[in-house]
Amino acid sequence: MKRNKTITTASTLSSHWYETCGEAFFTQLLVPFLSNPSRELKSLSLTCRFIYQIYASSSSGNDLWMNFLLNKYHDLNREILKNNDGKLMMYYYQLVYFENHLDQILPEYLIPTLSYGRDLKNDDVRPRFICSSSNGYYYSMGFINMLINSEFDLEYDPCLEDNYTFNLEMENAKKCISLYPISLLEEYSPLYQGYIDMSDGMIFTLVIKNDFNNIESVLDQFHIFYKQVQLQKRLNSFIFTIAITYKDFMEDSFKKMVEEELRMHISHYNIVNYVIMECNPRKRDQVLRITIESVKRFKFIDTKLFLKYLQIKSEEEKNKKNCSIM
């Protein structure tokens, strides 16, 4: 009898592994890395089922995924997550997926930046922006210095990467944002994945000089970074802000031509959320304006409300399957 009970339990896990968390686990972690998913689908499916059986049969497995959720989403608490044994892994990966696909979420489940009034931990200041430029690290740091200290210093040459926070006032509300100056030089490209993971967007200072030939020649580094964002499947949520800076005096007709060419070029990218504005980084009002416009485009999931929606949908699917069996 004991053996039969064991077989029944294993059978139950095998038949329900996919509907409880296998889909999220499989699609988020494995399918993107396969060159030919259809050929290898069966063996990978069996592998996922085996992993899930280990997870589901572990007494600490549920606590593990609960801690993952609580550490990543500070709006959640144990009371909300209780009574969801075997489903927390699915909820974790579904939330991660929809964070990067905000276009698939109804507006009522999204919170605009200005509505976000709760106190945050130091490592959860949002939004977080990378600051970079087409003309080296100095313009990246110069933009931040002007925003925070009202000074633009091209001689600044730090040895360490820094994280700067700034209390931004916009539309009678205060918003604490985070800024990371980085270099987009090719030798730093292996670090791009980490930069993208920790940020919500990029403020890119596009420096136009009097020897300007075409827009492609000044967007080389931007293009490499964009491809990495695309590879990490962040294009639907990542904010791209391009601040056009003219290093030399330019006629208005020339500026208009540059912006039109830039917009035409960007239209060939799969960028959903972007800002293109002229910005003199030595004028704080312009730096402030482009920062505000960038922050306005930041939205995120109302985690509590959306988790309730996921739970309801899960129950509906379960009831639908039970009815079809009956």
Q: What is the pLDDT of residue 267?
A: 86
* Whether residues 158 and 63 fall in one domain: no
Residue 117 in any domain: the answer is no
Classify residue 129 as left (phi > 0), alpha (psi -120 to 50) or beta. Answer: beta
* Whether residues 153 and 238 fall in one domain: yes
Residue 119 in any domain: the answer is no
Query: One digit per residue, pLDDT tens: the chain, 326 residues?
Result: 434 433 333 334 344 444 445 555 555 555 555 555 555 555 666 666 666 666 655 556 677 788 888 877 777 888 888 877 777 878 888 887 787 777 777 777 777 654 444 444 444 577 899 999 988 788 888 899 999 988 887 555 555 557 888 988 877 777 889 998 888 776 667 777 788 888 889 999 999 988 888 888 888 888 888 988 888 878 878 999 999 999 888 899 999 999 999 999 988 888 878 899 999 999 999 999 999 999 988 877 778 888 888 877 777 776 666 666 55
Q: What is the pLDDT of residue 43?
A: 63
Those residues whose C-beta lies under 8 Å from the C-beta of residue 259, and which sit 6 or more positions away, are: 244, 276, 278
* Whether residues 95 and 170 fall in one domain: no
Q: Are 248 and 209 in contact (CB under 8 A)?
A: yes
Residue 214 in any domain: the answer is yes
* Whether residues 7 and 29 fall in one domain: yes
Which of 300, 315, 275 has its CA nearest to residue 115?
Answer: 300
Q: What is the pLDDT of residue 17?
A: 46
Give the number of domains in the chain: 2
* Whether residues 23 and 53 fall in one domain: yes
Q: What is the pLDDT of residue 25?
A: 57
* Whether residues 215 and 314 fall in one domain: no
Q: What is the pLDDT of residue 9?
A: 37
Residue 113 in any domain: the answer is no
* Whether residues 151 and 209 fall in one domain: yes
Residue 144 belongs to domain with CATH number = 3.40.50.300
Q: What is the pLDDT of residue 291?
A: 94
Over the chain, what HEC string results?
A: CHHHHHHHHHHHHHHHHHHHHHHHHHHHHHHHHCCCHHHHHHHHHHHHHHHHHHHHHCCCHHHHHHHHHHHHCCCCCHHHHCCCCCCHHHHHHHHHHHHCCHHHCCHHHEEEHHHCCCCCCHHHCCCEEEEEECCCHHHHHHHHHHHHHCCCCCCCCCCCCCCEEEEEEECCEEEEEEEEECCCCHHHHHHHHHHHHCCCEEEEEEEECCCCCCHHHHCHHHHHHHHHHHHCCCCCCCEEEEEEEECCCCCHHHHHHHHHHHHHHHCCCCCCEEEEEECCCCCHHHHHHHHHHHHHCCEEECHHHHHHHHHHHHHHHHHHHHHHHC
Q: What is the pLDDT of residue 203?
A: 95
Partners of 202 in beta bridges: 130, 240
Residue 114 in any domain: the answer is no
| Distance in angstroms (rounded) separating the CA atoms of residues 145 and 156 | 10
Q: What is the pLDDT of residue 297?
A: 86
Q: What is the pLDDT of residue 12?
A: 40
Domain that holds residue 43: 2-105+302-325
Q: What is the pLDDT of residue 239?
A: 92
* Whether residues 133 and 279 fall in one domain: yes
Token readout for 194 is 């980490």
Q: Are 131 and 203 in contact (CB under 8 A)?
A: yes
Residue the block writes with tokens 């110069």? 142
Q: What is the pLDDT of residue 246?
A: 92
| Distance in angstroms (rounded) separating the CA atoms of residues 212 and 121 | 44
Burial of 310: CB neighbours in 10 Å, binned 0-12, 13-18, 19+: middle
| Distance in angstroms (rounded) separating the CA atoms of residues 326 and 322 | 6
* Whether residues 149 and 62 fall in one domain: no
* Whether residues 18 and 44 fall in one domain: yes
Q: What is the pLDDT of residue 171?
A: 73
* Whether residues 68 and 143 fall in one domain: no
Q: What is the pLDDT of residue 64?
A: 78
* Whether residues 145 and 101 fall in one domain: no
Q: For residue 158, say if its preceding peptide bond is cis, omega within 30 degrees of 0.
A: no
Those residues whose C-beta lies under 8 Å from the C-beta of residue 109, and which sit 6 or more positions away, are: 301, 302, 305, 306, 309
